[in-house]
């Protein structure tokens, strides 16, 4: 877990949004990887800079998705009287720092579930947009799995990748192992059943 964000980007509703230096390494690697990915999809007919531009847009949109995920946690936390000091993007995604732990299993559940709910909404929105761009559900599925011979242009390729990566983030986050969101949800359920926060934490961990 990173220390307080090294660089401040901006503030949202009094919450400091920042990045750790490790974020720049991940951003660079994602852009390099996606440049090759989009070049292979679009083929030799793509302009020289198009795969790189698509890669930059995709990488920034992905980190925006991570930020929205953390803001989901933050909004529910503040509504339940728990202040959020900052949100930090770093090597392994993002983290919203709460001023204190949840005081009930119900609050813990709502805060933990808010992030995955946002990610699910993003994945659904990207899927809907992708189907519209592709003209059919099958066309969008072909774009997602990079089906050979599929008619995929730049915008469709970006939306398909964003839908796929957000679905992957959702599944990973719901693994029931603390401190992932799925683990926090499992802790909340165990906490409600046992009435013991410490026992529930050990169970989730």
Task: Say how many CA atoms lie within 13 Å of 46 toward its Cβ.
Answer: 21
Rounded to an integer, what distance in angstroms lies between the CA atom of residue 149 and that of residue 151? 6
Q: Which residues are catalytic?
A: 70
Rounded to an integer, what distance in angstroms lies between the CA atom of residue 52 and that of residue 57? 9
Rounded to an integer, what distance in angstroms lies between the CA atom of residue 93 and that of residue 179? 13
Q: Residue 92, SS3? A: coil
Q: How far is residue 19 from each of residues 67, 92, 111, 176, measured CA to CA in Å?
A: 11, 12, 22, 27
* CA 77-65-146 angle, 5° bins: 145
Distance of CA 105 to the CA centre of its chain: 24
Rounded to an integer, what distance in angstroms lies between the CA atom of residue 84 and that of residue 72? 12
Query: Do residues 74 and 66 make contact, with C-beta atoms less than 8 angstroms apart?
Result: no
**DSSP bridge pairs for 94:** 89
């Amino acid at each position: 877990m990173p220390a307080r964000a090294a660089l401040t980007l901006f503030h949202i509703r009094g919450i400091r949004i920042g990045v750790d230096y490790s974020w720049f390494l991940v951003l660079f690697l994602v852009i390099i990887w996606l440049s090759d990915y989009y070049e292979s999809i679009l083929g030799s007919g793509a302009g020289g800079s198009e795969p790189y531009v698509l890669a930059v847009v995709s990488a920034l949109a992905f980190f925006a998705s991570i930020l929205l995920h953390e803001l989901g946690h933050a909004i529910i936390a503040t509504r339940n009287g728990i202040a959020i000091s900052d949100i930090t993007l770093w090597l392994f995604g993002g983290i919203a720092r709460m001023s204190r732990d949840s005081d009930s299993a119900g609050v813990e559940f709502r805060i933990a579930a808010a992030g995955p709910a946002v990610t699910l909404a993003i994945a659904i929105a990207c899927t809907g947009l992708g189907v519209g761009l592709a003209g059919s559900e099958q066309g969008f599925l072909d774009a997602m799995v990079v089906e050979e011979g599929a008619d995929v242009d730049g915008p469709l390729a970006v939306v398909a990748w964003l839908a796929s990566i957000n679905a992957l983030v959702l599944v990973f986050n719901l693994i029931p192992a603390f401190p992932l969101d799925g683990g926090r949800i499992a802790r909340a359920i165990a906490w409600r059943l046992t009435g013991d926060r410490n026992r529930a934490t050990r169970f989730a961990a």
